[in-house]
Amino acid sequence: MRNTYFPREFLDKYSALLGKEWDEFFKTIQTKQPKSFWINTNKSTVNNALESLKKKNISFKWLKFHEQSYSIDFATPGQLEEYREGLISIQEKAAMMPVVVLNPSKDDYVLDACAAPGMKTIQLSNLSGKVFAAELNTKRFEILKKTIERFDLKNVEAKRIDFRNLKRNKRFDKILLDVVCSSEGLIRKKREALVDWSQSLVKKKAHDQKHMLVRAFDYLKDGGEMVYSTCSFAPEENEEVINYFLTRRTNATIEPIKLEGVKIRENKLCKNCVRLYPQDNDTQQFFIAKIKKHKSTTPQPEEKD
């Protein structure tokens, strides 16, 4: 990808962090990411959507981590009739994986804590019984509403609210906290993704993420599960957030993650947390942690924003 902007501070930080893997990582993130889509089973079956694409002689390939996920060999999938009609959503394949890891069922009431623009909300709607989609930002909330309407997400209740201001007695079976981050993973999509990036931004986001994770966990039912994910590569926004969280909520465990057909890497900084490296799977960079809530026998400290 031509003329991608990389701050010197970013290059210095991640070349040191990645060591001998830096050259391959850097080469990969300067290339365009491949196209992929999720089949919206609210408006189509998997077979019907695929048959529609076949009739147009469009090549696609199943991504093994979920039956509704596919790569597509088509330059502008957003112009396809199947997309305009809401049969498929265009979504980067690593971005699909947090919902797949959460693995909600039709019996689950799910909180999508930072929902806009709504691609993961589509996934949750397809797989869950009911979804509460929270989004604080006004402009992003309007985008979320349009997504809900176009993709026929009838089991989704959306509200413009900071999820931390929900009633304290509200509880969910599962929660997705795909948190707002420094967006380092968008490099392959937007050449200007790092224009506003700085180490101070990373630290600010990490501060917010720590408190958001604790508060989200408190809305989870005992025995429930949640996923924390970012498209940042920063340890400050990932492993350090999880490790902080574990000091605040002793009734939480980090669960192992498996994704069929995907190379994932665990690391010594955070047991069972995984990283998706761009060079391993030709994806965005992504961090995913799956958290289980156990019944607590001792009071947990209050978390203030």
Task: Exactly one of 114, 181, 231, 270 is catalytic; name it.
Answer: 231
Q: Judge residue 24's burial from the number of C-beta atoms within 10 Å of its C-beta, 0-12 exposed, 13-18 middle, 19 or more buried.
A: middle
CB atoms within 10 A of CB 157: 11
CB atoms within 10 A of CB 167: 7
Q: How far is CA 101 from CA 119, 180, 282, in A?
A: 15, 19, 19
- Do 260 and 64 contact (CB within 8 A), yes or no? yes
Q: How far is CA 30 from CA 15, 27, 96, in A?
A: 14, 6, 21
Tell me whether residue 231 is one of the annotated catalytic residues: yes
- Do 283 and 93 contact (CB within 8 A), yes or no? yes
> What is the separation of C-alpha 74 from the centre of its chain, rounded to a whole number of angstroms?
24
Residue 273 CA to residue 260 CA, distance in Å, equals 16
CA angle in degrees (0–180, nearest 5) for 271-299-168 = 95
Q: Catalytic site residues? A: 231
